[in-house]
Amino acid sequence: MTTALLKQSVLLARGTQTLGDLQSTSGKKGGKASSFFGASVAVHARSRFLSGAAVCRRVAVRDNANVASRRFGLSRATAECSSTQVATDDGEKAYEVADAEELLKEHGACGVGLIASLKNESTHKIIEQGLTALGCMEHRGGCSADNDSGDGAGLMTAVPWDLLDSWQQENGRGPLDRSATGVGMVFLPKQESDAEAAKQLVESVIKAEGHGLQVVGWRQVPVNESVVGPFARVTLPSIQQLVLSVPGLAPDDTERELYVLRKLIEKAVARAIAAEAAAGGTPAAEHALNDLYFCSLSSKTIVYKGMLRAAVVGTFYADLKNELFRSPFAIYHRRFSTNTTPKWLLAQPMRFLGHNGEINTLQGNLNWMVSREPTLTSPVWRGREADIFPVVNLAASDSANLDGVAELLLNSGRRPEEVLMMLVPEAYQNHPTLSAKYPEVVSFYEYYKSQMEAWDGPALLVFSNGRTVGASLDRNGLRPARYWRTNDDMLYVASEVGVLNMDEATIVSKGRLGPGMMISVDLHTGEVLSNTAIKRQVASAHPFKEWLDKESRQITPMAFAPEPALSPDEVLRRQNAYGYSSEDVVMVIESMAAQAIEPTFCMGDDTPLPVLSARPHLLFNYFKQRFAQVTNPAIDPLREGLVMSLEIALGRRDNILDVGAEHANVVRLASPVLNEAELQELMDDQQLAAARLPTFFDVSQGVDGALSRGLDALCAAADAAVDAGAQLLVLSDNADQLDATRPAIPALLAVGAVHHHLIRSGKRLQASIVVETAQCFSTHHFACLVGYGASAVCAYGALETCRQWRASEKTQKLMTFGKLPSVSMEQAQLNYRKAIEKGLMKILSKMGISLLSSYCGAQIFEIYGLGAQVVDRAFKGSVSRIGGLTLDELASEALTFWAKGFGTEGKGKLENAGFLQVRQGGEYHSNNPEMSKLLHKAVRQGEQTAYTAYQTHIATRPVNVLRDLLELSSGTRAPIPLDQVESAASIAKRFCTGGMSLGAISRECHEVIAIAMNRLGGKSNSGEGGEDPMRWVELEDVDAEGRSPTFPHLKGLRTGDKATSAIKQVASGRFGVTPTFLANADQVEIKVAQGAKPGEGGQLPGKKVSPYIAQLRNSKPGVPLISPPPHHDIYSIEDLAQLIFDLHQVNPAAKVSVKLVAEAGIGTVASGVAKANADIIQISGHDGGTGASPISSIKHAGGPWEMGLSETHQTLLANGLRDRVVLRVDGGIKCGNDVLVAAAMGADEFGFGSLAMIATGCIMARICHTNNCPVGVASQREELRARFPGVPADLVNFFVFVAEEVRVGLASLGMSSLDELVGHVDVLKARDVALAKTSSIDLSYLLTYPGLSELSSSARIAQEVHSNGPMLDDALLRNPSVIAAIEQGKVVQLATPIVNTDRSTCGRVSGAIAKRHGDSGFTGAIGITFKGSAGQSFGCFLAGGMNIRLIGEANDYVGKGMAGGQIVVVPSKAATFEAETATIIGNTCLYGATGGRLFVRGCAGERFAVRNSNAQAVLEGAGDHCCEYMTGGTVVALGKVGRNVAAGMTGGIGYFLDEDDTFSPKVNREIVAMQRVVSPGGQEQLKSLIQQHAELTGSAKAATILAEWDKYLPLFWQLVPPSEANSPEAKAPAAEEEPVAALAA
C-alpha cells in the first residue's frame, strides 16, 4: 500500500463523513455458494461421520497443503465496516438497509459460560477453569467439513497485566500504567508485508487522532499452529497485541477513546481498500487489509478467540497456559455455526457479549438502527458521534451486531444490566408477580418498548465490561443457563452443569436463570445481584411511571360502526376494484366474522405461483412468510402466548442515548388492527399531527411509468408532511368517489416505498405509518403491511364487508335457523378483528418472534416473482431470487382489478377466482378431477397406454411450478438403448411416501401405502402417531382372495406382505414414540417443518381420535391432540444435534433424517443439520401437505422445492458436506419428469405425498379436515372407511410407471443410471414458454452448476449409519451381567461415575431391550447408580425394567421419551446447599414420556413434563410451562413452579403444593379445572407418590409433608382436565360435591 493512500485514508477517517460515502461491498445478490477448499479437503469429511463432540475430539485429520490460500466470501474488515450509508448523486447521505441474502448466510448456536471471583482476585486458576469448562462443552460446538476446524471458541478475560509487564521487561521497558493503557487483540493479514502495512495504517490513525495517544509496542502473540484444522489454517491470521498509552483520561473516557479509535481504524481500512481498488490496484474483495480485525481494544478486557475447537484453545494460545496470565473472571464460548465457511472474526466472545442463540428480528433491528443514526447524540461524545457511525454492520452476524449496539449504549453511559434490559426485555406484560410487587420494573419496560424494538429470539447472553460480569436469558427461556456459587466466593454460570469437576461440599447454592432473568457481579464490591435486585436498581434510576402517566396516550378499543356505510351495489363495485373474489369474501372474511378464527383448509397449495399464473393476483400473494426451523424455534401462540404482544406505539422516536419524559410522548395501541373510529381518533390527536396521503396513481396518459410517478409523488408528499411536523402518515386508498383513471397503488407497495424512502432520507423515526386500505383482508395481508413498516392498519373494506354480511337477509335467516352462530353487528366486526389478531400472533410465532413491535419493519418474507426495480424501490433487502414483474407490469395487474369496478363484468356478483377450490374457468389446480381420473384408470388397469394419457396431461398442463419452465437436454450425449438403463426396480427403491399420520388418514389407506412401498423396496413414512406392533410382522395368513385375518379390513394382500413403515417419524407431539417404535425403524425422521404449514404445530380433531388412534398415541378417545409448533428439545442447532444423537443411541442401525421446508437460507440451515450428524436431509416444497391447515399458511408460507433443493445442494457442495448426507425431496412430484429434474438439481431420493393418496383412491374432495372423506382415505368414520377402494397393487403400479418413465428419460439423455444424473444441473435449460405477466423470470439460480461431489448418489445412499462414537452405554452393553439381564432376564446392580459429556445415557441399553422384548416384555431388572453430572438426555427412552439412580445433577431432557422403569435424581450427601430449592435437572425433562416414574430431590427447569402421556413424577419445583400438553400420567410438585402451568393439558392429573397462595395466577385455565384434593382416590394417589419420593430420595420436604399430612393436604391444588373429571382420583364423593367450595376462585 502506498504512503499516499495511507495518508488519504487517515484523513478521511478523521473527517465527519462516515464510510458510507463509498458503496457498500456486500456479496453479490443471489450468487451461488462455491467451494474454495477443493475436492482434496472434502475427502477428509467422508471417512467416518461422527457427531459434534465425536468429530472434534476423536477424528485425527492431517494437514492438507492443497487448500486454497484465499478464503471465499465477505472479507473481515469490509464486513466489520460495512456502511449503513451511501452517497447520493447530490452528495446527500442516503442510509442503506440490511440485505437478507447476507443475513441468511449465518446462523449459529453454542455453549457459553462465565467464572467470576467475588473477591475480585486475579488468578491463573480462573483461566484454567475457563479452558476446562470450554472443553467440556465441545459437543455444543461444530466443526467444518474437515472435522478438525472448529466453528469458533474463545475466552474473554481481564487484561493480563502481569503477562504484559513481563513482556515490557523483556523489551527493556518498565511496567505499564494500568489506568492509562489500552490493549488491542488484533488479527492481521497473514503475510508479513501485509501485516506491516496494516500496522502502519493503524499507527497512522493513532497519530492523527492525537490526544496523547502513543503506541507502546506490538506484541506477537505466541501460537501453536499445529492444532489448527486445515480449513481454519487457510485463513489463520497473524495475531498480535497492540499496546497503547492513553494518558490523562478517566476510566470510562479511556474506554470511549479506544472505542472511537477502533471505529476510525475500521473506516480507514475501508477507505484504503476502496481507494486502491479505484486506482486500478487490488480488487476490494481480495485486499489483504480485509484481514485486519480487532477482537478487542480496551483497558479492561481482552478476547482470545479463533476458528478452533474448544479443547485446543489453550494449546493454540500459549499465553493462556502462562502462570502470569491472571484474571478475576473469564467468559468462555464454543460456537456451532450452520455456515461452515471459516471466519475467524465470528468466533466468540465478542467485545462485550458471548451469545448463545439467534436474533430472529435481525433485519428489522438493523434497519431501525440505521434509521436511528441521525438522532443519536450524547454529551459524552463531545460532538464526535459521526466518528462512531455506523453503529451496526449490515454484513455481520446477529451476535456481532447485538454486541455493537450494546457497545454504543455502554460507552454512552448505560449500565451493562440496563443495556440488556433495553435490548432483550423480559415478558413483563403477563407476569403477575412483577406487576404486583415491582411496578417500577414494568414502567421501565413500558417506557423503552416504544424507544427500542426488542432484539427478539432465543438467547443466553454472558457479558462483561471489565467491572460487571453477568448473564441474561431471553424472554422465553429458550436456552439453558445454570449457575452455582461456592464457599470460596466463586460464581459459575454455564449452558451445562458438570463442565467443572467440583466437590459438592463446596457448593453453597445452585440455581438456573429462568425466562427473562439476569444475574450479575460487581467485581469491585463483590456484590452478587439477583434478578429482582438488578431490575429494581435499573428501573428506579428514573421516574419512568411519572413520565408515562404525563406524556403517553393509550387508544382504547372503540365501538365498531353500527351499520353498513355503503349500498350493497357500491360495496360490490369496490370489492371488484380492490381485488376481492367470492372465495375471499365467503371463505375468509365472512368466516372470520362468524367464527372469530382464521379459516382452515386442506391438501396444500396446488395452484401456480402468482408470477406464473395467467390470472391477476394481489401484490401480497408474491410474498411468502419466512419461518423458524432448526436454528431457532417457533413459539407456541396457543399455549405460550403470555410471552407475546401485539402492542405498538405511534409517534416520533427520538435519541435513544438520552433519557427523559419527552421520549414517552407516544400513542400506544393494544393492537395494530384498527376500526374507522380508532383511526379517526388518531387523526384527531393534535400531537401526532397526522397527514393523510392518498395512494392512487394516474393512468390517464397510459400505464408506462405511471406507477413509478405515483410512488414519486407519494414519497414527496411523505417528505413534505414529515418536514411540516407530522408524526403520523396515514396512507389511504379510501375515497368518496373512485376514478377509473386513478387506480389504487397496491397498499403493500405504497407502504414499502414510503418506509424505505424515509429510511434513505434519514427521517424514518420522525413519523409512524398507518394504512387505511380496502386491499387488506387476510392475516397475511396485515402481516405484510406491518412487516414492511406499517404500525397499524384500518382495513375499512373488510370491515364494511363484515357489516354487509351481517346485515344481509340471507345471513339473518341462517342465524335464525341455527345454521350460523348468532352474532350482532358489533360482534361480527369484533370477531373479524380477533381472528386477524390470532393470525398475526401465529405468523409472528412461526418465526419465533414474540413482539409485533419487533416484527414491524423486519421484512421477514421471501419474494417470488418481483423484479429488482420493484424490490429496490419498496422492499430493499428482501430476498427475490427469480426476478419477475417490473413496476409497469405490476401497474397493469393492478389496473386489471381496478377496471372490474368500472365495467360490466363485475356488477352482478364477485368472480370466484378458484384460488382455493377447483372451479371451471378459475385458477388452474394441478390436482384436478381430470388428472385424478386419468391416474386412477392407469393404476387400476396397469396399462402403459393409460399411464401415457396421464403423462401427456401433466406434460401439457399450464405452467404451474418452476420446473415447468425447464426442460431436459442431452447436449452432445447421444441417446442409449433402454435396456442399458438401470432397472425400474432399482429406481423405485429411491421412492418414498410422505409423512401422513395414521389419524389424519385412515388405517386402510396408511397400511396399503406401507405394504405397497415394502413390495417395491421403497420406504413409506409412519407420520406422527406411533405404529401398531402387529404391522412389524410378515403376513403368513393370506388366502387366495388376498384377504388376511390379521388385517381383515384390507384386500389385495399377498403372503410375505409387511405393513410396517420403514421411516418412523418423530414429530413435536412425540405421540407413540417409544423405545420399541424407534428400535424397529429402518430410518427415523425428525419432522422439523411440514410443507402445508411450516413453523406451526399439528392438530388432530377429537372426532378423528378413535379408540384405536388414542391407543397408539397414548391418549384418550375423542380428545383433540395438538403437536406444539416447536420440538421442545430443538431450540437451536446443537439441540437438534442432541436429538439426532439420542436417536442414534437408541437405534444405532437406523439412519436419521431431518425434514425441512424450502425457504431462503435453507442451505445454511442444511449445512448445520449435516454437521449435526444427520444421515438424510429432506427438502419439502410449500405445495405439500394433507390434513387441516390455516388458509394463510397453505398459501403464504414456504417456497418451491426447486429453490430449496438447489440452494441446499449447492451450499453443501461448497462447504464440503454434500457427501455426508442423502438429499431427499418432496412436494407435488407427479411423474418421472419431475424425478429427473429433481435428480439433476441434486436429489438422491424422491418423496410422493398427495399422489400416493390419489393412487390409492383419493378423489381430491378437499374435505380431509372434516372427517367426512367420501372414499375413506382421510376419515376415521367406520362407514366411510368401508368405502376405501385402494389395494397395494395400485400404488405399486404407479411407482413402476414412474420408474419406467425415468428410465426412458435417462436413455434419452444418454445416461445409464440415476447416479449419472444426480447433481448434473447442466442437463437442464430454460423452456421456450411465454408467461402471461412477464418475460423477466430469472432461472439462473436453478441452472447454476456447482460441480459434482466425489461420491456417487448410490454410494451416499449405501453409506453406513453415522456413528456417535464410543459412549458410556457401549461400556454398559459390554458388561456380561448386563448382557445376561437382557438376554436371560437376570437381575443386575451396577455403579459407575458419569460426566456431562456422557450423553443419552441408558438410551442404547433401552434400545437393545426394546428390540428384543418390546416396551413391556422385559422380565429382568437392570439397576445402575451413577455419580456425577449427567450429560443431556439422561435416561432418554428408558425401557421398563431399568431402574437408574443419579447422585449429583443432570442437564436438559432427563427422562425424554421414557417408556418405563424408574429414574431417581438426588444431590450428593456431601452437598451443603438446600436441595429442595436447588435446580438439579435441566429444561424439558420428561418430554414425550409414555411411562415410567421419575423422582427428583430438587427442582427442574422450564417445560417439565411437556407432552407426558403416562409417566408419574414427583419433584420439588419447576419452571414455566409445567405439564404443557400433557395427555396422561401424574405430576406432583412439592415446591414453587413458574407461569403457565397446564397449558393445553388434556389428560393426566397434576398436584401442586401452594404454601403462600401464589399458585393460582400461574395456572392456564383454558382447559383444566383447579380444585383441592377432595377425592379419596386423589388423596391416596398423592400420599402414595410422596411416600415413594421420600423413601427413594430422602427428601426433607416430603418427610415434613407426610409428618404433618393434615396440615399440608389442604394446601395442595389438583389440576384436572375434562377427560379426568370423572376419574376416581378427581371426582369428589357424592356427599362432598360442592363445586363452589371445591373450585378455586
Cell 480488487 belongs to residue: 283
Q: How confident is the model at residue 1631 (pLDDT cuts 50, 70, 90)?
A: low
Q: Residue 380: how many CB atoms within 10 A of its CB? A: 13
Is a pLDDT exceeding 50 seen at residue 19?
no
Q: Report residue 439: phi and psi, to 5°.
A: -65, -25
Give me the mean pLDDT over the 13-24 stretch: 30
Under a CB-based contact definition with an 8 Å cutoff, are residues 1119 and 1102 in contact? yes
Give me the mean pLDDT over the 118-147 stretch: 90
Q: How confident is the model at residue 609 (pLDDT cuts 50, 70, 90)?
A: very high
Quick one: residue 372, left, alpha or beta (phi over 0 = left, psi -120 to 50 = alpha)?
A: alpha
pLDDT in tens, 1306-1344: 999 999 999 999 999 999 999 999 999 999 999 999 999
Q: Is the dihedral of CA 1296, 1301, 1305, 1307 positive or negative?
A: positive
Indicate the residue type of 1307. A
Mode of pairing for the β-strands spanning 1491-1496 and 1459-1466: parallel
Question: Which range, of 663-667, 1187-1191, 1199-1203, averages the lowest pLDDT?
Answer: 1187-1191
d(CA 1200, CA 1211): 17
Helix (H, G, I), strand (E, B), or coil: what is residue 1328? Answer: coil
What integer pLDDT is reported at residue 15 of this predicted model? 36
d(CA 916, CA 583): 7
Give me the mean pLDDT over the 1176-1192 stretch: 83
Percent of the chain's residues with pLDDT above 70: 92
The runs of H, that is alpha helices, within 691-762 are 706-723, 747-760
What integer pLDDT is reported at residue 435 of this predicted model? 83
d(CA 1407, CA 1430): 19
- Residue 551: all three cell numbers together: 406524556
- Residue 1054: all three cell numbers together: 399377498
Question: Which range, of 95-109, 301-315, 1106-1120, 1493-1507, averages the lowest pLDDT?
Answer: 95-109
As a whole number, the mean pLDDT across the chain is 90
Under a CB-based contact definition with an 8 Å cutoff, are residues 1144 and 1178 in contact? no
Give me the mean pLDDT over the 946-974 stretch: 95
Provide, for the chain, the percentages of residues in helix, strand and coil under a 3-state DSSP scheme, each rounded to the nearest 5: 40, 20, 45
Question: Which range, of 19-23, 1386-1390, 1504-1508, averages the lowest pLDDT?
Answer: 19-23
Is a pLDDT exceeding 70 seen at residue 1248?
yes
Mode of pairing for the β-strands spanning 1547-1553 and 1612-1616: antiparallel
Under a CB-based contact definition with an 8 Å cutoff, are residues 864 and 880 in contact? yes
Q: How confident is the model at residue 85 (pLDDT cuts 50, 70, 90)?
A: low
What integer pLDDT is reported at residue 763 of this predicted model? 96
DSSP letter string, 742-772 = SPBPPHHHHHHHHHHHHHHTT-GGG-EEEEE
Crossing angle of helices 887-900 and 706-723, rounded to 10°: 90
862 bridge partner residues:
624, 879
Q: Which of 978, 958, 955, 977 is CA-nearest to residue 967?
A: 955
What integer pLDDT is reported at residue 498 of this predicted model? 93
Positions of E strands within 804-904 = 861-866, 879-885
- Peptide bond just before 425 cis, omega within 30 deg: no
pLDDT in tens, 1061-1110: 999 999 999 999 999 999 999 999 999 998 778 888 888 888 999 999 99
Q: How confident is the model at residue 38 (pLDDT cuts 50, 70, 90)?
A: very low
Q: How far is CA 237 from the centre of its chain?
A: 33
Q: How far is CA 368 from the centre of its chain?
A: 22
**Catalytic member of 56, 110, 143, 802:** 110
pLDDT in tens, 1535-1562: 999 999 999 999 999 999 999 999 999 9
- Peptide bond just before 633 cis, omega within 30 deg: no
Under a CB-based contact definition with an 8 Å cutoff, are residues 1164 and 1211 in contact? yes
List the end-to-end C-alpha distance of the chain, in Å, as a whole number: 77
Is a pLDDT exceeding 50 seen at residue 445?
yes
Q: Could you give the count of Cα atoms lying within 13 Å of 1521 in the half-sphere of its Cβ?
A: 31
Give me the mean pLDDT over the 420-448 stretch: 92
Is a pLDDT exceeding 80 seen at residue 47?
no
Is a pLDDT exceeding 70 seen at residue 56?
no
Q: Is the dihedral of CA 476, 481, 485, 490 positive or negative?
A: negative
Question: Which range, of 12-21, 275-284, 1111-1120, averages the lowest pLDDT?
Answer: 12-21
Q: How far is the CA of 1131 from the CAs of 630, 635, 641, 1041, 1134, in angstroms?
A: 7, 10, 17, 51, 8
Give me the mean pLDDT over the 910-920 stretch: 89
Q: How confident is the model at residue 44 (pLDDT cuts 50, 70, 90)?
A: very low
Percent of the chain's residues with pLDDT above 90: 82
Is a pLDDT exceeding 50 seen at residue 2?
no
Q: Is 590 exposed, middle or buried (0-12, 13-18, 19+ CB in 10 A)?
A: buried
Give me the mean pLDDT over the 869-888 stretch: 97
Q: How far is the CA of 226 from the CAs of 82, 149, 1352, in angstroms?
A: 33, 12, 33
Q: Residue 862: how many CB atoms within 10 A of its CB? A: 24
812 Cβ contact partners less than 8 Å away, ≥ 6 residues apart: none
Q: How confident is the model at residue 1634 (pLDDT cuts 50, 70, 90)?
A: very low
Q: How confident is the model at residue 34 (pLDDT cuts 50, 70, 90)?
A: very low
pLDDT in tens, 752-798: 999 999 999 999 999 999 999 999 999 999 999 999 999 999 999 99
d(CA 308, CA 335): 9
Under a CB-based contact definition with an 8 Å cutoff, are residues 693 and 582 in contact? no
Q: Which helix (H) or strand (E) holds 931?
A: helix 929-941
Cell 365472512 belongs to residue: 590
24 Cβ contact partners less than 8 Å away, ≥ 6 residues apart: 82, 83, 86, 96, 394, 395
Cell 447421444 belongs to residue: 974
Under a CB-based contact definition with an 8 Å cutoff, are residues 682 and 770 in contact? yes
Quick one: residue 1615, left, alpha or beta (phi over 0 = left, psi -120 to 50 = alpha)?
A: beta
Q: How far is the CA of 529 from the CAs of 493, 520, 903, in angstroms?
A: 14, 5, 71
Does the pTM exceed 0.85?
yes
Q: Which of 1035, 1071, 1211 is CA-nearest to residue 340?
A: 1211
184 bridge partner residues:
242, 297
What integer pLDDT is reported at residue 1190 of this predicted model? 83
Question: Which range, of 479-493, 712-726, 830-844, 1092-1106, averages the lowest pLDDT?
Answer: 1092-1106
Would you call 715 a catalytic residue per the annotation?
A: no
Q: How confident is the model at residue 342 (pLDDT cuts 50, 70, 90)?
A: low
